[in-house]
Amino acid sequence: MDKVSLTLKNNDSLCDVFSGQNSFPQILTYLKEKKKAQYVIITDSKVKKLHGERLLKFLKDGGLNVFLISFPNGEKNKTRKTKAYMEDIMFEHKCGRDSLIIALGGGVTGDMAGFVAGTYMRGIPVVQVPTTTIAIADSSYGGKTAIDVPAGKNLIGVFHQPIAVFMDPELLKTLDKRNYDSGLVEMIKHGMIKDKKFYDFLKENMKIILNKKHPDYDNVMKKVLLDNLMIKRTVVVEDQKESNLRKILNYGHTVGHAVEKLSNFDLLHGEAIAIGISVEAFIASKLGIMSKDDYLDQRDILESIGLDTKIPKNITTKKIMNLMCIDKKARGGEPEFVFTIKNGQYAVFENGNVSKKVSKEILEKLINEYRKL
């Protein structure tokens, strides 16, 4: 596997990122070097059967003192209750500060396991092994961890950087089409906000990316994953705790998170963010921040992979407004947005801020206008 070591700007955290197929032997070698007393695989009920039991046996056969905790699959289970359940099992196994957590799964698992690692015994190491497109593209690296609460999505959490991430395209081949396709949204988003060349590469190679049986799939995806990582890396190393620049990674997420929660998480994260990007690009075009052509281009690439960009009819604008106003990105009760001025370039506003408040009156008017398209 290829290895890239990433150090944050303040040099307080090093993350080793491995990319390539057949990752289990490299995971075992890496974990042995850490010489921990106990290793804990955290995964969900679905990934446990696909990969978890196999990884558990592999690590045990390799001589590690390891056990596995699983929780019911789905965003609906990313809760305080689930977090406490996993922590209690770790207490029962007498896990100390010399333990290490392996987060095996998608974005929900990565968030949950990372949050447990960030708070258990005031912080123990976590290694991320993403098994979904969205996790391998975005959530496994960067240190954001959180749970959902009744008031909104990802409102309680900590920044806790993984010490390693293993990006294995082979693990994506067991992923169903809906999860795989929707997970590509975060990669597309990275191109939209910061790298036109990467955005164009995705557009040109989308047929290969969508076909896991294509003979060029492995080579194309290896390049995609590494290039995608380096885009996010340039942002995270500069702004670990989202004081300004890192906010650009939230493109599409202000509307998207609200729609996702209001769907009762029937919409996958990527599906909701696709809607969010399209709505926010439309708003930017109406505010004169970006052109109508670029808005349409962003909408069209999302629709080209089969994603719906319309807000579901059963989700009212009023409910979206209410949730956006208590979102963690809101300031003074008004939603903040990241915008692009064109594909590959994020907008910068007063005093160098990359986010901008939009008044509730204008926002509600534009969302209703978008819904009539």
Q: Give the pLDDT of residue 328.
A: 66
Ranges in the chain annotated CATH 3.40.50.1970: 2-175
Active site members: 122, 144, 186, 232, 242, 246, 250, 253, 257, 269
For residue 334, give the DSSP letter: B
Q: How far is CA 240 from CA 157, 191, 355, in A?
A: 14, 20, 17
Annotation: CATH topology of 236-371: Dehydroquinate synthase-like, alpha domain (1.20.1090)
Closest CA to 105 of 124, 66, 77: 77
Contact 31, 22 (CB under 8 A): no
Work out the average pLDDT over 187-211. Answer: 96
Of 3.30.565.10, 3.30.1600.10, 3.30.500.10, 3.40.50.1970, which CATH number belongs to 2-175?
A: 3.40.50.1970
Q: Fill in the amino acid letter for 97.
A: R
Q: What is the pLDDT of residues 160-188, one digit of tens each?
A: 989 999 999 889 888 999 999 999 999 99
Cα angle 173, 312, 148; round to 5: 65
Contact 338, 248 (CB under 8 A): yes
Q: What is the pTM of this model?
A: 0.85
Both tokens of 198, joined, read 């990467």
Q: Give the pLDDT of residue 243.
A: 82
Alpha-carbon distance of 245 to 41, in angstroms, equals 33
Query: Helical H runs in the chain?
Result: 24-34, 45-47, 53-61, 80-92, 107-119, 133-134, 169-172, 177-194, 196-204, 206-209, 217-236, 253-262, 269-286, 292-304, 317-325, 360-371
Alpha-carbon distance of 343 to 63, in angstroms, equals 49
- Phi first, then psi: give them for residue 103, nearest 5 degrees: -90, 110
Grouping H, G, I as helix, E, B as strand and the rest as coil, residue 329 is coil
Q: Give the pLDDT of residue 335.
A: 87
Closest CA to 358 of 261, 303, 267, 279: 279
Work out the average pLDDT over 100-121. Answer: 97
Q: Give the pLDDT of residue 277.
A: 98
Residue indicated by tokens 């969302």? 367
Work out the average pLDDT over 116-121. Answer: 98
Cα dihedral 221, 224, 227, 232 sign: negative
Residue indicated by tokens 């008044």? 359
pLDDT at 229 over 90: no
pLDDT at 10 over 70: no
Q: What is the pLDDT of residues 326-371, one digit of tens each?
A: 776 667 778 899 999 999 999 999 989 999 999 999 999 999 999 9
Listed in sequence order, the residues at least 6 apart from 341 whose beta carbon sits closer than 8 Å to its beta carbon are 284, 289, 290, 347
Q: Give the pLDDT of residue 169.
A: 86
Instruction: Work out the percent of the chain whose per-residue pLDDT is above 90.
Output: 78
Q: Give the pLDDT of residue 329.
A: 67
